């Protein structure tokens, strides 16, 4: 039988890293920056959190909950912010090609993650190729104490660490900000037509920097959530996989609306683990095929979005283009 009560929480925890990535990338793209460096940024976010937590765990005699939570988060934010700043400096200030810069950032970010991951593994002298930060995991993934007593309601709605709720809150807050606030209106204008925004007195460079850096920090949290909560505080090189690319595909799937990323990420999370819940017998090949479902869905969605003609559902009109006021 298909166990829905067991399935949903696992889909959610699979979906949360995607949600962070998708929301971060959406707000970045709203400013007209197609940041293909997001997968790399998520790696960097993850490893920076790991580095912070690693040194705190190894140096503190008695761990304080607040610090155990704050140190990895601040490290993660600082690392992803730096990646966002590099991307902005290259594409906005120096007006480098966004696609090339983004792809380079991803390669760079994955490399950084694996390099420092490998170094830490050496430092810790572990005999397995991974670092386990189980105490930090304990603090970050702590759930509400009463969740256990609430049966299936507790399991489906309250069994997650606070970062999961933070992702949902961020998605909602950003959705409201983008559609309802003056800042959101300005941001949309920058992504649609920077020349128009500029002529209207909006500081295009500032908006692009802010949106991209905030987006990078949000995406970085996805990497952190993956290691500290989903993977029980265990970092091993390349474990994060291609979740970053799925997050970028999700941005298209959600037609640039952060609100939609909540259900869409959980749906994708579900698709990723569907193979564990559908009896496939002993045939491993079938299982592997099921693992491909999210990618097939992404391709189908890409086809459908390209067929769609509504103007409101199109990507920001100047996505991927750099802006220079005196360009003629």
- How far is it, in rounded angstroms, from Cα 328 to Cα 312? 28
Task: Report the nearest approach of other proteins to the CB of residue 256 (Å).
Answer: 11
Closer CB to other proteins, 93 or 232, in the complex: 93
Q: CB of residue 193 vs other proteins: minimum separation in angstroms? A: 5
As measured in angstroms, the least distance from the Cβ of 314 to other proteins is: 8
In our burial notation (b when 16+ CB lie closer than 10 A, e otherwise), range 271-281 reads bbbbbebeeee
> Of 240 and 256, which has the nearer Cβ to other proteins?
256
Coil vs helix vs strand at 131? strand
Which stretches does DSSP call E strand in the chain? 131-132, 234-235
Q: Looking at beta carbons only, is 70 or 192 nearer to other proteins? A: 192
Closest CB 315 distance from other proteins, rounded Å: 11
CB of 185 to other proteins, least distance (A): 6
Q: Which is nearer to other proteins, 127 or 327 (CB)?
A: 327
Distance of CA 306 to the CA centre of its chain: 24
Nearer to other proteins, 200 or 296 (CB): 200
For other proteins, give the closer residue by CB, 92 or 110. 92
Q: By the 8 A CB rule, do 35 and 102 touch?
A: yes
Distance of CA 273 to the CA centre of its chain: 18
Q: Please, is 290 exposed, middle or buried when counting C-beta atoms within 10 Å of its C-beta (0-12, 13-18, 19+)?
A: middle
For the CB of residue 325, give the shortest distance to other proteins in the complex, in Å. Answer: 6
Here the tokens at position 155 are: 């399991």
Other beta carbons within 10 angstroms of residue 69's beta carbon come to 19
Interacting residues toward other proteins by CB under 8 A: 180-182, 185-186, 188-189, 192-193, 195-203, 311-312, 314, 317, 325-326, 328
The rounded distance, in Å, linking the Cα atoms of 59 and 127 is 21
Where do we find the tokens 């959980």? 266
Hey, CA dihedral for 171, 255, 12, 40, is it positive or negative? negative
């Amino acid at each position: 039988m298909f166990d829905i009560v067991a399935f949903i929480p696992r889909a959610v925890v699979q979906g949360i890293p995607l949600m962070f990535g998708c929301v971060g990338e959406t707000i970045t793209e709203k400013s007209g920056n197609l940041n293909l460096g997001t997968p790399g940024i998520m790696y960097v976010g993850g490893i920076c959190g790991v580095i912070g937590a690693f040194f705190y765990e190894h140096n503190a005699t008695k761990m304080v909950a607040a610090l155990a939570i704050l140190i990895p988060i601040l490290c993660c934010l600082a690392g992803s912010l730096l990646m966002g700043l590099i991307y902005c400096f290259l594409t906005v200030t120096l007006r480098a090609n966004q696609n090339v810069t983004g792809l380079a950032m991803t390669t760079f970010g994955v490399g950084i993650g694996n390099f420092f991951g490998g170094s830490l593994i050496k430092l810790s002298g572990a005999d397995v190729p991974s670092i386990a930060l189980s105490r930090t995991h304990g603090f970050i993934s702590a759930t509400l104490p009463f969740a256990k007593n609430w049966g299936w309601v507790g399991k489906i709605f309250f069994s997650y660490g606070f970062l999961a709720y933070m992702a949902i809150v961020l998605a909602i807050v950003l959705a409201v900000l983008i559609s309802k606030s003056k800042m959101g209106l300005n941001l949309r204008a920058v992504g649609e037509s920077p020349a128009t925004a500029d002529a209207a007195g909006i500081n295009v460079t500032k908006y692009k920097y802010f949106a991209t850096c905030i987006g990078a920090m949000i995406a970085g949290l996805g990497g952190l959530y993956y290691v500290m909560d989903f993977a029980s505080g265990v970092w091993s090189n390349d474990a994060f996989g291609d979740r970053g690319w799925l997050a970028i595909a999700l941005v298209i799937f959600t037609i640039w609306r952060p609100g939609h990323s909540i259900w869409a990420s959980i749906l994708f999370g579900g698709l990723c683990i569907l193979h564990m819940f559908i009896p496939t017998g002993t045939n491993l090949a079938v299982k592997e095929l099921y693992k491909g479902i999210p990618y097939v869905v992404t391709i189908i969605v890409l086809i459908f979005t390209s067929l769609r003609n509504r103007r409101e559902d199109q990507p920001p009109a100047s996505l991927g283009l750099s802006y220079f006021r005196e360009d003629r």
